[in-house]
Amino acid sequence: MVGIVGYGAYIPQYRIKVEEIAKIWGKEPETIKRGLGIYEKSVPALDEDTITISVEAARNALKHAGIEAEDIGAVYTGSESHPYAVKPTSTVVGEAIHATPKMTSADYEFACKAGTAAIQTCMGLVKAGMIRYGLAIGADTSQGRPGDALEYTAAAGGAAFIIGNNDVVATIDETYSYTTDTPDFWRREGQEYPRHGARFTGEPAYFKHVIMATKGLLEKTKTVVEDYDYFVFHQPNGKFPMRAAKKLGIPKEKIETGLLTPWIGNTYSGATLLGLAAVLDVAQPGERILATSFGSGAGSDSFAITVTKEIEKKRKRITPVRYYMERKKYLSYGEYVKHRKKIKM
Amino acid sequence: MPHRKSLSMIWRRIPERYRLEGTRCATCGRYFFPPRSFCPDCRRKGRIEKATLSGKGKVYTYTVVHVPLEGFERYAPYILAIVELDEGPKITAQIVDAEPNEIAIGMPVEMHFRRVSEDGETGIIHYGFKFAPIKA
């Protein structure tokens, strides 16, 4: 059955605290921490971008899967911060792990859900027998306009999933998507920073799509909340996924393992996938996971996942999300501005 | 502008820069990086084949660059090291994710994939290996 053969995470080591950003803009840090449910966020190194994060995550995934890179028939990278507007991220990733040249490839973009769209594409290709393994990546080094609320959350990180039929650590039993045209968040061609609809990003965007996709999946699989041990939702801040869980009647304990945003920020296309990776790091055979992404614009992809015995065999080969969460170096706002190349030289 | 490399030169070196693809002499087992097409030990008896290096090694020696090259201003001060790979070859590379006071000769390091340089704001981005202390 189609599922996850291996996965890998990557989060840059740099962090900036809410206090450090708030003091520059004359804001009260406690209000922001309470309002957004976030304490600090990850920041890429000067020489890191979506491509380097994708390669690191893909290498970790390959090591975890224990397969040959040449058996990967498709590489898809989802991001809203591809370093090139024209020239794929996925070809650099494919070349770095040496899955090239016998593979198909493209880059995806759908705000924060392009990574889960890549997983669905790989599932389809694997199920159709067109490829043996597919590599799906979600990674971002997102930017918020200085002074905007997004500046407290827009972070960097990513995760890579190898999808196949054999030796899977978890089966993907079903997937369900819910998509509409909703103008909650956008960035026009050539613009450096995105714009958003502030409160409009909540009810008609995030909550509607996450809840409809999750309910749709439960209906399609004839399951209920109680059938799942863990839930992972897209996490643009620390508050939204908790509120979505409450609306769906999910106990807090089932969502905490996969909730990373309070400590690393919103890694956009990496967010749901890193949350899922953190859950898989600790999940036991037989446990069930429901993961639902969200991308502004807007849409959600929901997945029903069951962990297999294979996870224990492969666990020693994983670099856990926890490792990347715990290694950190704090930046001042001035250093952060330099890291994010906001200083013109 | 920093030292400008031709597109074809960057492209030709992708296998070595992205994934440490070197060569090895099948006769004596010696590894070469950058790749060599001739074994200086076995000479005519040498048989050269492609070999991808593990990317693990240790710091052979290092220096801290305070006066950076053009294009590397944002990185200063940065660590430039000669890394002795487990397979033998020694290569020059930047050490990342470590401050100058966190590095020492003999320290185990491993390869990571980073941006090396870019041809201005509009040109090609050059990716390749750098090294960082091995995670515990």
* % of chain A at pLDDT higher than 70: 100
Residues on chain B touching A89 (C-beta within 8 angstroms): none
Chain Cα centroid distance, residue A189:
23
pLDDT above 80 (res A270): yes
Same domain, A221 and A326: no
Look at residue A344 and tell me if it is in a domain: no
B115: distance to nearest CA of chain A, Å?
5
Domain residue extents for chain B = 55-136
Q: Residue A281 corresponds to which tokens in the numbers above?
A: 């790091």
Same domain, A133 and A183: no
| A105: nearest Cα among A69, A78, A129, A74 | A74
pLDDT above 70 (res A57): yes
* Mean pLDDT, all residues of chain A: 97
Closest CB to A56: pick one of B75, B112, B116.
B112
Q: Best of B52, B56, B115, B130 to disrupt the A interface by mutation (most A CBs within 10 Å)? A: B115
Same domain, A194 and A281: yes
* % of chain A at pLDDT higher than 90: 96
Residues on chain B touching A13 (C-beta within 8 angstroms): 97
| A267: nearest Cα among A185, A193, A157 | A157
> In this predicted structure, what is the pLDDT of residue B120?
87
SS3 label, residue B133: strand
What ipTM does the predicted assembly reach?
Answer: 0.95
> In this predicted structure, what is the pLDDT of residue A29?
97
Q: Which helix (H) or strand (E) holds B16?
A: helix B14-19
Closest CB to B19: pick one of A45, A56, A98.
A98
What is the SS3 string spanning chain A?
CCEEEEEEEECCCEEEEHHHHHHHCCCCHHHHHHHHCCCEEEECCCCCCHHHHHHHHHHHHHHHHCCCHHHEEEEEEECCCCCCCCCCHHHHHHHHHCCCCCCEEEEECECECHHHHHHHHHHHHHHCCCCCEEEEEEEEECCCCCCCHHHHCECEEEEEEEEECCCCCEEEEEEEEEECCCCCEECCCCCCCCEECHHHHHHHHHHHHHHHHHHHHHHHHCCCHHHCCEEEECCCCCCHHHHHHHHCCCCCHHHHCCCCHHHHCECHHHHHHHHHHHHHHHCCCCCEEEEECCECCCEEEEEEEEECCHHHHHHHHCCCHHHHHHCCEECCHHHHHHHCCCCCC
Residue ranges for chain B with pLDDT beneath 70: 1-4, 136
> In this predicted structure, what is the pLDDT of residue B1?
43
Same domain, A214 and A236: yes
DSSP at B7: H
> In this predicted structure, what is the pLDDT of residue A199?
86
Q: What does the pLDDT average to over A15-20?
A: 98
Look at residue A117 and tell me if it is in a domain: yes
Quick one: pLDDT band at residue A276, thresholds 50, 70, 90? very high
> In this predicted structure, what is the pLDDT of residue B136?
62
Q: How deeply is A26 buried, as exposed, middle or buried, from its count of CB atoms within 10 A (0-12, 13-18, 19+)?
A: exposed
pLDDT above 90 (res A341): no
Look at residue A102 and tell me if it is in a domain: yes
Closest CB to B125: pick one of A13, A83, A95.
A83
CATH of the domain spanning B55-136, picked from 2.60.40, 3.30.70, 2.40.50, 2.40.128: 2.40.50
Same domain, A301 and A317: no
Is B125–A52 a contact, with Cβ atoms under 8 angstroms apart? no
Same domain, A196 and A248: yes
pLDDT of A65-83, one tens digit each? 999 999 999 999 999 999 9
Q: Residue B16 corresponds to which tokens in the numbers above?
A: 């070595």
Same domain, A23 and A151: yes
Quick one: pLDDT band at residue A198, thresholds 50, 70, 90? confident
Q: Best of B20, B65, B113, B135 to disrupt the A interface by mutation (most A CBs within 10 Å)? A: B113
Look at residue A345 and tell me if it is in a domain: no
Q: What does the pLDDT average to over A135-145?
A: 95
> In this predicted structure, what is the pLDDT of residue A96?
98
Which residue is closest to A85 within chain B, CA to CA?
B122
Look at residue A113 and tell me if it is in a domain: yes
Alpha carbon distance A184, A195 (integer Å): 9
Same domain, A94 and A203: no
**Which residues of A form the catalytic set?**
80, 112, 234
Residues on chain A touching B116 (C-beta within 8 angstroms): 47
Same domain, A19 and A51: yes
Return the CATH number at A15: 3.40.47.10
Domain that holds residue A63: 3-169+312-339
> In this predicted structure, what is the pLDDT of residue B6?
86
pLDDT above 60 (res A188): yes
Look at residue A9 and tell me if it is in a domain: yes
A46: distance to nearest CA of chain B, Å?
7
> In this predicted structure, what is the pLDDT of residue A62?
98
Domain tally, chain A? 2
pLDDT above 90 (res A217): yes
Alpha carbon distance B96, A45 (integer Å): 9
Same domain, A248 and A304: yes
Compute the Cα dihedral for A193, A197, A198, A204 and give only its sign.
negative
Residues on chain B touching A344 (C-beta within 8 angstroms): none
Same domain, A237 and A302: yes
> In this predicted structure, what is the pLDDT of residue B70?
85
Residues on chain A touching B70 (C-beta within 8 angstroms): none
Q: Best of A42, A47, A81, A340 to disrupt the B interface by mutation (most B CBs within 10 Å)? A: A47
Look at residue A138 and tell me if it is in a domain: yes
Same domain, A189 and A304: yes
Q: What does the pLDDT average to over A324-331?
A: 97
